[in-house]
Amino acid sequence: MVVNNQMKGLKTFISDLRNLKEEKDEEKRINIELAKIRAKFQSSTLSAYDRKKYVSKLLYIYMLGYPISFGHLEAVNLLTATKYSEKQIGYLAVALLLNENHDLIRLVINSIRKDLLSLDPDKNALALHAVANFGGRELCEAVYPEIQQLLMSAATENIVRQKAALSLLHIYRKFSDIMDMDLLEPIIMLLDDDDLNVSLAVSNFVFLIICREPSLHGLVCRKAIHKLKLIVSGRGYSSGYIYYSVPCPWLQVNLCRILLICHEEVTDETTKRTLINVLDRMLSIFKDYKDNKHLNVINAILFDAIKLAFAVDDSGSLYQKCMKCLGEMISNKEPNVRYLAFDTTAYLISCGHSLPSLKTHKDLILSSLRYKDVSIRKKSLELLYMMCDSENSKTMVNELLIYLPYLDSVSQEDLISKVASLTEIYADDYKWYVDVNLQLLRVAGKSVNDDVWHQLVRVIVNNESIQQYAVRNLFKLLQSDSTHDSLTRSGCYILGEYGYLIANEPGSGPLQQFITVYKKLHTSSVGTSVLLLTALLKLSNLQPDLHKRVAAVFKRYSVSLNTEVQQRACEYLQLLTLPKEFLSIVCEEVPVFTIPAKKSLPSISNRSDVSLTDSVTSTKEIDVSSSLPGFYRLCWRDKGILYRDSQVQVGALVEFRDLQVCLSLYFENRKTETYTSFSSTLLRTFPNFKVDSSFTDTIFSPDKQLQQRFSVDRLDELFDPPIIRVSFLAGVMRKVNLMLPIVLSKFLRPTSFDSSTFFQRWGLIGVEREAQLAFGLNGINSRLDERRLMKIVTGLHWGICSGIDTNVSNIVGAGILQLNAQNIGCLLRLEPNYQNDMIRLSIRSTNTTVANVLATNMQDILKNSFYSNT
């Protein structure tokens, strides 16, 4: 905080606090000062200078972490001061001590308006700072015309226009309904402003505009290309805008990010060639800069320029320059640069760009798994995972396993999850799959999630050809003195089922199997002990010679202090006394898993005659993150883009015919090359969800559009959204998982009630059949918007009941769901808090499960539908 040299009392107070050694002494000194300040504020002879000094002391105390319960009005009074220094302290105090909902904000509004109308640019700047920092709806509505005038007026000084643009950005971000939409185009035109500080401020505003208003992409694209060309060519700036020999770096970054969103509007070859030439110059103009102080600003531009180059340049003319820059940054010893290089590369791969030359840096990326910075370790593992394909999968997995023993537990968990997923996706040999997972269990068993060994058991049970090989290897591992619970559990499970397959092999006889399992009982956890007892029961059934030994074990553990182990031992001991035929029925070999397990890993096939990647899987098993933005949009819209990258676009159209829901998908090739082996496979479905029509041609040329159509005639049960996998060959095999926008609310029939009918039904259903959730929005820049919220609610097929709630901001709705030939009534009450961007959602239904599902789905959609780029 800047302290005026004349405020000696403030300087003395700060010096006294800094000289104190103990916290209690500091608190005592502050309490004395607070009492003195309170007394001074009550004095009728308080001068403007004293008010400024004492408010400054309060601010310092507040910044030390002590609560301030008085002095707010004195801070507000400073706003009306004539001296700049007093007004400055007043604005600083108001910004720190008040929030947008404070009772004193109404007193602040008039002072801010007066300063905005002033001809003094310093006063304008202070007022604009206040609006941008803590402007709530009431304040923004009051001062919006003045801020608009300051921005668009040619008589306004440039520094004030810059701050006006940022203040309007705050208003547009939080309260877009206040903004005049006709003003957006004039604001976009300000990208061409001669003052680059104004252009920089406006570029932040324009970025948000194009995220919300796709119709303006064309205008923005032209302006951004023109401005970027002027800067890169050296004609669009003066010497005052050069930062470490780089012209206007942050404006260049913003322009690249803007173009990354709207570059698809570049349709004519001349404009595209201009942009490519500009990017070519950006990628090469910095090659002579080797001084460290230039690197940060250079790299900041390069990261965004590389992303834009890959998105725009279909010909690949910039590929070598981009990869050279990326390679140098990946090799950089500076951790921040390396992390951002990994992040950029992962982004490019996720967009479908092929980076074959990246494999030359594989060893360096692998070595980063042992880097001291955990963020570098995580990002390098993510990048290695994305680099993996059908050609290098086995080599990549083997190299990752080499690093496994040397990682910390957190990094081990991440690596195990990635390796397990890779073996699921690319395994063409069951033995390799089993070997890799056994190595995970052996080396890092304590970090292995239960899902890994559960899935391993599923694969072994479902494939007879691998059972003997698997049980032999697991038995060898179980003979070790020390094994982790996850390895012991999977080993004893498989040994109990298929131990007879190795009973005649040397060192693997029934007695050796019994001894191995029995030894593990002494050192295992309760959950593992229960599985070991079960394995002994199955061994006894298949090997009658072990009957007495197993019975003795059960008798011993029938008095265990643990009730779970004791109960299991007593039950098994009783089973051994029953006729052998009965025991054989109880201990029958486990059948093939026909229902996919709900795990976090992709599920391997249920039948031994199906490849490893053809299985039906559950929600948590499949990565559908790339389609989620489109999925959330299409949950409340009837048509739009479900997924889009540089290679393929998938559009969706949802139609409603009485009780039938129809979904049409349209696949478009966005490249000039032809894709082969194009296919679409259902990974998850539900009863009555059927494929009406699909494409048969697997050759996907650029001039062709493929269509697939699905429908649901009726609902017999609750469901999760279907998932399909789109795959095609474009140099390498691409696979994209898409979650289809078929949710429960799509089947609601909107209805409406008057106030008395609604509350009568609301009361009859009762709170016991209510699902209520309170939540905020995902994303730092997400802001609740009243118009969009209403669109989402109506798009989710709720009928709006107007004039019912006393709070006009709340939304009340109703709908009828036909499930299993029954009509289920559903009522909605949604309470938005626009100031804090929070929502409380209450749904009551005659079926409690339906209420819970509707509420959970709606929460997920609402949380993810207010990003600045949706």
The CATH number that applies at residue 710 is: 2.60.40.1230
Report the phi/psi class of residue 675: left, alpha or beta, with left for phi > 0 and alpha for psi in -120 to 50. beta
Distance of CA 435 to the CA centre of its chain: 33
206 — pLDDT class (breaks 50, 70, 90): very high
Print the domain residue range for 567.
348-586
Closest to 312 (Cα-Cα) out of 254, 261, 356, 358: 261
Question: Is the separation of the CB atoms in 636 and 791 below 8 Å?
Answer: yes
Question: Is 433 annotated as belonging to a binding site?
Answer: no
Tokens of 681: 């496979």
Q: Calculate the alpha carbon distances from 655 to 235, 652, 661, 698, 714 in Å.
A: 53, 10, 6, 26, 14
Residue 498 included in any domain: yes
| Residue 324: count of CB within 10 angstroms of its CB | 14
Alpha helices in 184-291 (DSSP H): 184-189, 196-212, 217-232, 249-262, 269-284
Q: What is the reported pLDDT for 240?
A: 80
The one-letter code for the residue type at 551 is: A
User: In the 8-state DSSP scheme, what is residue 420?
Assistant: H
Please name the residues in contact with 160: beta carbons below 8 A apart, sequence gap of 6 or more: 121, 124, 125, 128, 150
122 — pLDDT class (breaks 50, 70, 90): very high
What's this model's pTM, rounded to 2 decimal places? 0.63
Question: Is 53 annotated as belonging to a binding site?
Answer: yes
CA distance 475 to 166: 68
The CATH number that applies at residue 850 is: 3.30.310.10
**Burial zone of 713 (CB within 10 Å; 0-12 exposed, 13-18 middle, 19+ buried):** middle
The one-letter code for the residue type at 586 is: V
Question: Is the separation of the CB atoms in 53 and 12 below 8 Å?
Answer: no
Q: Are residues 526 and 431 in the same domain?
A: yes
Beta bridge partners of 242: 247
Beta bridge partners of 419: none
Please name the residues in contact with 593: beta carbons below 8 A apart, sequence gap of 6 or more: 458, 461, 462, 606
Tokens of 855: 């509420």
Residue 398 included in any domain: yes
Virtual torsion, Cα 40, 42, 45, 50, nearest 10 deg:
40
Beta bridge partners of 815: 750, 826
- Which one of 719, 739, 759 terminates a domain? 739
Q: Are residues 545 and 571 in the same domain?
A: yes
Residue 729 included in any domain: yes
The CATH number that applies at residue 449 is: 1.25.10.10
Q: What is the reported pLDDT for 543?
A: 83
Q: How many CA atoms lie within 13 A of 480 on its CB side?
A: 15
Question: Is 57 annotated as belonging to a binding site?
Answer: yes
Residue 155 included in any domain: no
Phi, psi of 636 (to 5 degrees): -120, 5
Looking at the chain, how many residues does it have?
870
Report the phi/psi class of residue 352: left, alpha or beta, with left for phi > 0 and alpha for psi in -120 to 50. left
Could you tell me where the beta strands, DSSP code E, fall in 499-555? none
Q: What is the reported pLDDT for 287?
A: 56
> CA geometry: angle at 734 spanning 732 and 737, to 5°?
165
Q: What is the reported pLDDT for 610?
A: 29
CA distance 408 to 280: 42
> CA geometry: angle at 816 spanning 841 and 787, to 5°?
45
- Which one of 60, 77, 95 terminates a domain? 95
**Average pLDDT of span 370-383:** 87
Q: Calculate the alpha carbon distances from 428 to 384, 397, 605 in Å.
A: 20, 14, 12
Closest to 635 (Cα-Cα) out of 350, 826, 868, 870: 870
Q: Are residues 428 and 538 in the same domain?
A: yes
CA distance 534 to 556: 15
Q: What is the reported pLDDT for 251?
A: 92
Question: Is the separation of the CB atoms in 470 and 460 below 8 Å?
Answer: yes
| Residue 432: count of CB within 10 angstroms of its CB | 16
Map tokens 């030439």 to a residue. Answer: 277
Residue 822 included in any domain: yes
- pLDDT (tens digit per residue) in 223-282: 999 999 998 888 877 778 888 778 888 999 999 999 988 888 887 888 889 999 999 888
Map tokens 């118009």 to a residue. Answer: 787
Question: Is the separation of the CB atoms in 389 and 422 below 8 Å?
Answer: no
> CA geometry: angle at 306 spanning 370 and 633, to 5°?
90
Map tokens 């709070």 to a residue. Answer: 807
CA distance 523 to 501: 27
Q: Are residues 531 and 627 in the same domain?
A: no
CA distance 143 to 148: 9
Residue 12 included in any domain: yes
Tokens of 666: 């349209």
Q: Are residues 755 and 735 in the same domain?
A: no
**Average pLDDT of span 512-536:** 89
Q: What is the reported pLDDT for 613?
A: 30
732 — pLDDT class (breaks 50, 70, 90): low
608 — pLDDT class (breaks 50, 70, 90): very low
Closest to 384 (Cα-Cα) out of 419, 411, 353, 413: 419
Checking if the pLDDT of 596 tops 50, the result is no
Tokens of 589: 């070999």
**Average pLDDT of span 737-750:** 90
Q: What is the reported pLDDT for 617?
A: 31
- pLDDT (tens digit per residue) in 821-861: 778 889 999 989 888 788 989 999 988 889 999 999 999 99
Alpha helices in 313-359 (DSSP H): 319-330, 335-350
- Lowest-confidence pick of 288-302, 574-588, 648-662: 288-302
Question: Is the separation of the CB atoms in 828 and 839 below 8 Å?
Answer: no
Question: Is 54 annotated as belonging to a binding site?
Answer: yes
Q: Are residues 10 and 61 in the same domain?
A: yes
Please name the residues in contact with 643: beta carbons below 8 A apart, sequence gap of 6 or more: 626, 627, 630, 649, 650, 736, 738
Q: What is the reported pLDDT for 729?
A: 77
Residue 208 included in any domain: no
CA distance 92 to 130: 8
- pLDDT (tens digit per residue) in 59-110: 999 999 999 989 899 999 999 888 999 999 999 999 999 888 888 888 899 9
413 — pLDDT class (breaks 50, 70, 90): confident
Residues of the chain with pLDDT > 70, as a percent, come to 94
Q: Are residues 420 and 564 in the same domain?
A: yes
Closest to 599 (Cα-Cα) out of 726, 458, 742: 458
The total of structural domains in the chain comes to 4
Q: Are residues 463 and 573 in the same domain?
A: yes
**Average pLDDT of span 6-17:** 86
**Average pLDDT of span 647-674:** 86
Question: Is the separation of the CB atoms in 289 and 298 below 8 Å?
Answer: yes
Checking if the pLDDT of 290 tops 70, the result is no
Residue 310 included in any domain: no
Q: Are residues 514 and 641 in the same domain?
A: no
Q: Are residues 435 and 567 in the same domain?
A: yes
Q: What is the reported pLDDT for 868?
A: 55
Residues of the chain with pLDDT > 90, as a percent, come to 28
Question: Is 55 annotated as belonging to a binding site?
Answer: yes
Question: Is the separation of the CB atoms in 493 and 531 below 8 Å?
Answer: yes
Question: Is 704 annotated as belonging to a binding site?
Answer: no
Q: Are residues 689 and 786 in the same domain?
A: no
Q: What is the reported pLDDT for 62?
A: 92
Q: How many CA atoms lie within 13 A of 373 on its CB side?
A: 12
Q: Are residues 688 and 770 in the same domain?
A: no
**Average pLDDT of span 295-308:** 87
Q: Calculate the alpha carbon distances from 263 to 203, 307, 311, 711 in Å.
A: 16, 11, 8, 35
Checking if the pLDDT of 133 tops 70, the result is yes
Q: What is the mean pLDDT of the chain?
A: 85
- Which one of 42, 60, 95 terminates a domain? 95
Question: Is 11 annotated as belonging to a binding site?
Answer: no
Checking if the pLDDT of 20 tops 60, the result is yes
> CA geometry: angle at 703 spanning 702 and 707, to 5°?
95
